Structures are given as C-alpha cells and as structure tokens.
Amino acid sequence: MKYGFARYTLPLLASLPLTALADVPRVAVDIPPVHSLVAKVMGDRGSPELFIQPGASPHGYSLRPSEAETLDNADLVVWVSNDLTPWLSGPVDNLAGDASHLELMRVSDINTFAYREGATFDVADHDHDHDHDHDHDHDHDHDHDHDHDHDHDHDHDHAHHHDGQDPHGWMDPDNARRWLDAIAQQLGELDPENADYYRDNAAKGRQALESLEQDIEERLANSESTRFIVFHDAYQYFENAFDLKAAGAISIGDASSPSPARIEAIQTLVNEEGIHCVFSEPQFNPQIVNAVFGDTDTYIGVMDPLGVDLTPGPELYEALLNQMADEIQNCTNAM
C-alpha cells in the first residue's frame, strides 16, 4: 500500500504526537463537492487531493502530469460517476489500478434519476414524491456496494438504465449523507486504527447536512411556483430535494453545445410560459445565455454546481447548496 508520509529523523519523531505517526491514506477526488465530503470525514487526519482542476468542466478533461501523479499515488480514488466523467475510466484503471475505488453514484440506497429528455421539462408529470424522505435513520447498515454491482435495486419508482443515469447526484443532501458513510467505511478499511474517528466524523457531517436541508427547505418554501431555465440539465437532484421546478435546460446533461432547434425551443418556452429566470454557469461561456435572454426582462443569475468560487475544504458543500438556494431566492424575489 502506498502512503505519502515523509521519513522523519528520530528527534523529530519523538516530538510528534502519536496520532501523527500513523499512515494517512492518500485520497484522490474529482470535483470540489466530493473533496468537501471526503475532507469532512478525514478531519484533521489529512486532506484529499483534487485531480480535476477546480473550475474545469468534469464532463471533458485532460489530466495534467501532476494530476495523473495524484491518481498514481492514491490509496483511494473517490469520484462521482463514469457517467459524469466518461474519460476517467482509463486513467483510474491504468494509474490507480492498485488503489481502492469508490464510485459514489453506485453506492447503494441513494436517490437516482435518468436524464430528462428534450429542452423543456413537463413539470406537471414530474414526480416529486421520489422517496426523498425515505429512511432518514442513517445509522443503519447501508451495505454499501463496493463491488459495484450494476444490478442493485435503488427502491425508487424511476425507471432508468445506467447509460442514461443523471450523475449530478451530489446536489441532493440525502445522497451526500449516505456518501459520508461510504467514505468513512472505505477510509476505515485502509486505516483501521482510525475507523471510529472516520465514522464519528461522518455522523457529525450527517447531522450538519440534515440541519442544512431543513434550513434550505424553509428558505425556499415560497419558491415552489418559481419557473426557471438552467444552463445544462444538472439540477434535478436539487430540484427534487427542495420541490423546485426547472422548466428547461439550454444544454443537455453533458453540457455539450445546444443545437439551434434547442435554443429556439427554450426561447419559445420563455415567451409563452412566463419563465422568471435563467441561470448561467461559471464553467461555460455566458454568451449563449446573454444572446438568448439579453434583451428580455428575464432575471439572469449564476448557478454553480461545482463551487468554483468557494474555498475548498469541509465547509464547501454547505456553502455550495446555500449559494444555489440564494440564487433561487433571488429568482423568486424578481418575479
């Protein structure tokens, strides 16, 4: 097993606390929200390392040499999904083949959805009772699926196949809570002496996320009728968690360039349905949004699914969801 602890001289070793002498697993993660969740669990034992540059779109990326080295040195690789980063399968297998792997969208008993089809969404048929409130007793044994069985049952009424699964699941705090447990389990297997510490940190993190979810639910209680357009179809987990209704997306879920027909469909929707807001994203060129909506009275905000402008670390995840809730509130207030 490869651990990244320096070799200290004996006098220095004698001055260190005993907890500092244990090996700390090297953890490589893909995006800042995942980095934040892993950092919560690791606590003061260590810090995960990002292998995708903050601010870059994870949908398409080329690893820098230093980022490839991060994967090569990792004892544990934690990433959202091969559906989010299809380019990552080769590097993970080739560079981190002897590391432990945790693909978060394959953790058992999480909320999952298929990608929505089309530029506009029929919110009348959208199921908000997707068992989001299922089993909030997170102290039970989740039996996390670390052998990546593709056929596990999510116990949800959303027919989907894995090729079409929407991978943006981190925007549902219920998923994040379950991921904290899965991360703690993996770290505990690599660092058994501190397994209880990781589990305790995960439990504290779950409590913090429960409070966050309740706070956001209260803040957005008046936003259920707010209709908005997002830049790319990445937000249905956030929408379903907080009973929101996006009306459409300029780009599809992988953020590829929209066709003229798709843009026309969005423009028609805005003109005919009284859409209140549109959200651009810092990862992508805002000219498309400005070209479509610049001459209208539509509120143009910024919705950031990755936390580009936030400080990396254990507090980023809460700040990310709060920032998104702020934008929804701004949209509601602009009505």
pLDDT of amino acid 269: 87
Domain definitions of the chain by residue range: 10-116+131-217, 220-333
Among 31-35, 41-45, 100-104, 113-117, the range scoring the smallest mean pLDDT is 113-117
Residues 285-306: pLDDT tens digits? 777 787 777 677 788 899 999 9
Among 43-47, 99-103, 148-152, 223-227, the range scoring the smallest mean pLDDT is 148-152
- One-letter amino acid at 125 equals D
Architecture of domain 220-333 in CATH?
A: 3-Layer(aba) Sandwich (3.40)
Whole-model pTM: value is 0.81
pLDDT of amino acid 123: 53
Strands, E assignment, 48-129: 49-50, 76-79, 100-103
| Residues 134 and 155 sit within 8 Å (Cβ to Cβ) | yes
Residues 6+ apart with CB under 8 A from 328: 220, 223, 226, 228, 242, 244
Burial class (CB in 10 A: 0-12, 13-18, 19+), 6: exposed
Residue 138 DSSP code:
T
| Residues 181 and 131 sit within 8 Å (Cβ to Cβ) | no
Distances (CA, A) of 56 to 232, 282, 306: 15, 9, 9
- Mean pLDDT across the stretch 20-24? 64
* The two structure tokens encoding residue 260: 């003229």
| Residues 78 and 29 sit within 8 Å (Cβ to Cβ) | yes
Say whether 236 sits in a helix, a strand or coil: helix
pLDDT of amino acid 3: 41
* The two structure tokens encoding residue 30: 């893909």
Residues 83-95: pLDDT tens digits? 999 999 999 999 9
Residues 113-169: pLDDT tens digits? 998 888 888 754 444 334 444 343 433 333 333 333 333 333 333 333 334 899 999
Give the full edge-to-edge strand order of the sheet including 245-251.
245-251, 227-232, 277-280, 299-302
Nearest Cα residue to 244 out of 141, 324, 164: 324
Strands, E assignment, 54-135: 76-79, 100-103
C-alpha neighbours within 13 Å on the C-beta side of residue 161: 1
- Tokens 């949800």 correspond to 156
C-alpha neighbours within 13 Å on the C-beta side of residue 147: 4
Question: In angstroms, rounded to a whole number, what is the distance separating the alpha carbons of residues 39 and 48?
Answer: 6
Residues 6+ apart with CB under 8 A from 311: 319
Domain 10-116+131-217 and domain 220-333 have a common topology? yes
Say whether 145 sits in a helix, a strand or coil: coil
Q: Which CATH code fits 10-116+131-217?
A: 3.40.50.1980
Biggest alpha carbon distance in the chain? Answer: 75
pLDDT of amino acid 296: 74
